[in-house]
Amino acid sequence: MIDFRDEVVYLLKDQIEFLSEDEIKLLVEVPPSYDMGDYAFPTFRLAKEQKKSPNIIAEELAGRFSGNDNFEKVESAGPYVNFFINKQKLIETVLNEIINKNNEYGSSNIGMGKTVIVEFSSPNIAKPFHIGHIRTTVIGNSLKKIYKFLGYNTISINHLGDYGTQFGMLISAYKKWGDKEIIESNPIQELLKLYVRFNTEADENPALKDEARYWFKELENKNPEAIELWQWIRDISLKEFNRVYNLLNIEFDSFAGESFYSDKMPRVIKELEEKELMQESNGAQIVDLEPYSMPPALIQKSDGSTLYTTRDIAAAIYRKEQYNFYKNIYVVASQQNLHFKSWIKVVELMGYDWAEDCIHVPFGMVSLEDGTLSTRKGRVVFLEDVLKKAIESTKEIIDERHPDLENKEEIAKQVGIGAVIFQELFNQRIKDYVFNWDRTLSFEGETGPYVQYTHARASSLLEKGEFDMNDKVQYSLLDNEEEINICRLLYNFPGVILDSCAKNEPYFITRHIVEIAKEFNKYYNSTSIIVEDEEIKKARLSLVYATKIVIKTGLALLGIEAPNKM
RNA sequence: GCGCCCGUAGCUCAGUGGAUAGAGCAGUGCCCUCCUAAGGCAUGUGCGGAGGUUCGACUCCUCUCGGGUGCGCCA
């Protein structure tokens, strides 16, 4: 596809001797509104070098361009030289490209031969899967899809919290008060009860903690009884989690969690010792990070057991050896910024230059109106409940407005889940937010259902108008403002995906498909698509088709489905 | 005490150092004899504050105020 921006740079570089091509490229920008053109070149830099007024330079510069095939006009406006794309060329270029590439439009092979690991979701076994887990789950899933679309080989890893002293507690608690049948009837709730009870009683009776430590030690020592219980708890928890993953339509390539690395820790400790990075401090083994203005990284507790810093280091080394990753991405809450900074620094100090390829992708906190989420204090909203409620609300709307719709259940699921995911991916990751039912269950305005609805509208038009993508289309019949604006947005879509990937921010895509939907709905309301004139109809439907493809692709990259009817 | 993050309209948020700072929601008023009204149109006196860098700052720097979060044996 023609890169109009590059074309602007080519045109400019022949006329400007004071700046290099790269400098020009950096200066070329997009004007605030379309009536100022599609690209603009500000002349302030030149003005400084040439000691002339920017306005005069812009005027002179603009005068040296006559329109060409790609640009219908080049004008100066104050200190700017504005480039106006040849609209017909744009429309033809972008629609041809989309119709040819179809679902591949926007994809790329820049990632060919490179492996990107995305670690995300990572719930703790035997703990509820609550609203606090949604961000990592949904952002990680989307990032994986984005990388894949750009040609990377992707590995999604669910780094389950399936190890640690907490398991010693669970095993002790189960042995004291547990009942297999009761637990299997409602695993997470019952295991949580045991966990809470154990903690409460341990406050009164410290001996319990020793017992927990004993059982964790036994787990590490591969005591068959401990292993069996651990395996059982892990299995039933995972079964619970999978219900949510199924609702969200999310799959993982690996569930190698913390336990997976338990036997890979000694090697790390040995290596740290050999490289003389470890030192003792108050009985514990640490890596001093004082020179980097960070608190020390705690590698080994005074009782000899390891911590999650050690596990993360072991995991990173394992992943490098196993997958030879190009990027190793961690979608983990921003509270752990320091933790990641710290262990990645240790990996760097170990002499691994790939430390810089380990990337923490942080996100802000979810809280509830009455405070921070706290499972133990009962302040918790289960993710499954949120998803189910969203589906129910959607179902009610369908029953009310489109009672004859086929596959109501399936569509209610796609739209309800879509609404939740979309909202999650609508803003910058880093923003904190307070969970709110009304907002989660609102389906109007800039929401998932709005975009899905637009897609369904487009689908319906294509069906009614009997669009055939093999028809020859006279693109010159598309020339009104809305048609061109839609094409501009469709044209920018591939670039938006690249930005999303570069910043690990799915919301660029979310925002962009909302823009497309808005522009399309405007068009829909102002223009009849299915008209008497066959040629006009075909031309308009081709635009509808391209819009549908891009919306569908965009939603897919977010992990959201696009029903044809709703 | 120190570090990191956030602060834009009543609310929730966009805004690669550039041209008049934009959406959605909420409110009000319109638009279904017409391709899906989960839609469209109209209506908007806001960048926490103070300095600085720059031809130009919501954007970069310093300080300050408000909120969040983190800081050796949890993850």
Q: Is the CB of A2 under 7 A from strand B?
A: no
Cβ neighbours of residue A566 under 8 Å, at least 6 residues apart?
A398, A402, A405, A411, A414, A415, A449, A452, A453, A456
What's the pLDDT at A59?
A: 94
A454 part of a folded domain: yes
Q: For residue A438, with 0-12 CB atoms within 10 Å meaning exposed, 13-18 middle and 19 or more buried, which class applies?
A: exposed
Show which positions of strand B are touched by protein (CB under 7 A).
Answer: 3-6, 12-16, 18-20, 22-26, 34-41, 55-56, 68-75
A120 part of a folded domain: no
Give the residue among A480, A493, A462, A551 at the shortest CA–CA distance from A94: A493
Cβ neighbours of residue A518 under 8 Å, at least 6 residues apart?
none
Per-residue pLDDT of chain A (566 residues; tens, 9 = 90+): 999 999 999 999 999 988 889 999 999 999 999 999 999 999 999 998 888 899 999 999 999 988 789 999 999 999 999 999 999 999 999 999 999 999 999 999 999 999 999 999 999 998 889 999 999 999 999 999 999 999 999 999 999 999 887 888 899 999 999 999 999 999 888 998 888 888 888 888 888 888 888 888 888 888 999 999 999 999 999 999 999 999 999 999 999 999 999 899 999 999 999 999 999 999 999 999 999 999 999 999 888 888 899 999 999 999 999 999 999 999 999 999 999 999 999 999 999 999 999 999 999 999 998 878 877 777 889 999 999 999 999 999 999 999 999 999 999 999 999 999 999 999 999 999 999 999 999 999 999 999 999 999 999 999 999 999 888 999 999 999 999 999 999 999 999 999 999 999 999 999 999 999 999 999 999 999 999 999 999 999 999 999 999 999 999 999 999 999 99
Nucleotide lying nearest to A453, CA to C1' measure: B38
Nucleotide lying nearest to A405, CA to C1' measure: B36
The CA–C1' separation of A418 and B39, in angstroms, is: 19
**What are residue A223's phi and psi, to 5 degrees?**
-60, 125
- Could you say which residues 454-493 of protein chain A have a Cβ atom less than 7 A away from any atom in strand B? 456-457, 459-461, 464-465
Whether residue A393 sits in one domain with residue A508: yes
pLDDT, tens digit, 9 for 90 and up, residues A469-492:
888 999 999 999 999 999 999 999
Rounded CA separation A156/A556 (Å)? 17
The CA–C1' separation of A479 and B66, in angstroms, is: 51
Whether residue A45 sits in one domain with residue A170: no
Give me the residue label for tokens 């690249």. A498
Whether residue A173 sits in one domain with residue A75: no
Q: Is the CB of A44 under 7 A from strand B?
A: yes
Q: Is the CB of A428 under 7 A from strand B?
A: yes
What's the pLDDT at A203?
A: 80
Q: Is the CB of A520 under 7 A from strand B?
A: no
Which ipTM did the prediction report?
0.96
Give me the residue label for tokens 């709307």. A397
What's the pLDDT at A217?
A: 83
Whether residue A506 sits in one domain with residue A390: yes
Rounded CA separation A508/A524 (Å)? 24
What's the pLDDT at A276?
A: 95
The CA–C1' separation of A39 and B54, in angstroms, is: 23
Rounded CA separation A118/A97 (Å)? 30
Nucleotide lying nearest to A124, CA to C1' measure: B75
Whether residue A396 sits in one domain with residue A500: yes
The CA–C1' separation of A267 and B10, in angstroms, is: 58
Q: Which amino acid makes up residue A460?
A: S
Whether residue A73 sits in one domain with residue A170: no
- Could you say which residues 179-198 of protein chain A have a Cβ atom less than 7 A away from any atom in strand B? none
What's the pLDDT at A505?
A: 97
Whether residue A69 sits in one domain with residue A181: no
Asked which of A54, A85, A116 is the last residue of a domain, the reply is A85
Q: What are the b/e assignments for A47-82, b being 16+ CB within 10 Å? A: beeeeeebeebbbebbeebeeeebbbebbbbebbbb
Q: For residue A151, with 0-12 CB atoms within 10 Å meaning exposed, 13-18 middle and 19 or more buried, which class applies?
A: middle
Whether residue A207 sits in one domain with residue A66: no
The CA–C1' separation of A404 and B70, in angstroms, is: 54
Whether residue A199 sits in one domain with residue A72: no
Q: Which amino acid makes up residue A244?
A: V
Give the residue among A540, A357, A411, A364 at the shortest CA–CA distance from A465: A540
Q: Maximum distance among all alpha carbons in chain A? A: 87
Nucleotide lying nearest to A39, CA to C1' measure: B19
Asked which of A214, A240, A266 is the last residue of a domain, the reply is A240
Whether residue A520 sits in one domain with residue A429: yes
A330 part of a folded domain: no
What's the pLDDT at A168?
A: 87
Whether residue A545 sits in one domain with residue A410: yes
Residue nearest to nucleotide B39 (CA to C1'): A521
Rounded CA separation A200/A391 (Å)? 37
Q: Is the CB of A431 under 7 A from strand B?
A: yes
Cβ-contact A295, A309 below 8 angstroms:
no
Q: Domain range spanning residue A205? A: 164-240
A435 part of a folded domain: yes
What's the pLDDT at A377?
A: 74
Three-class secondary structure of residue A218 per DSSP: helix
A21 part of a folded domain: yes
A546 part of a folded domain: yes
Cβ neighbours of residue A314 under 8 Å, at least 6 residues apart?
A261, A264, A265, A267, A268
Stretch (H or E) spanning A387: helix A383-401
What's the pLDDT at A370?
A: 81
A412 part of a folded domain: yes
What's the pLDDT at A458?
A: 98
Asked which of A85, A117, A135 is the last residue of a domain, the reply is A85
pLDDT, tens digit, 9 for 90 and up, residues A40-99:
999 999 998 888 899 999 999 999 988 789 999 999 999 999 999 999 999 999 999 999
- Could you say which residues 221-250 of protein chain A have a Cβ atom less than 7 A away from any atom in strand B? none
Average pLDDT of chain A, as a whole number: 94
Cβ-contact A162, A258 below 8 angstroms:
yes
- The set of catalytic residues of A is 127, 130, 133
Q: Is the CB of A22 under 7 A from strand B?
A: no
A282 part of a folded domain: no
Give the residue among A197, A205, A203 at the shortest CA–CA distance from A176: A197
Rounded CA separation A424/A129 (Å)? 16
Cα of first residue to Cα of last residue in chain A, in angstroms, is: 33
Overall domain count for chain A: 3
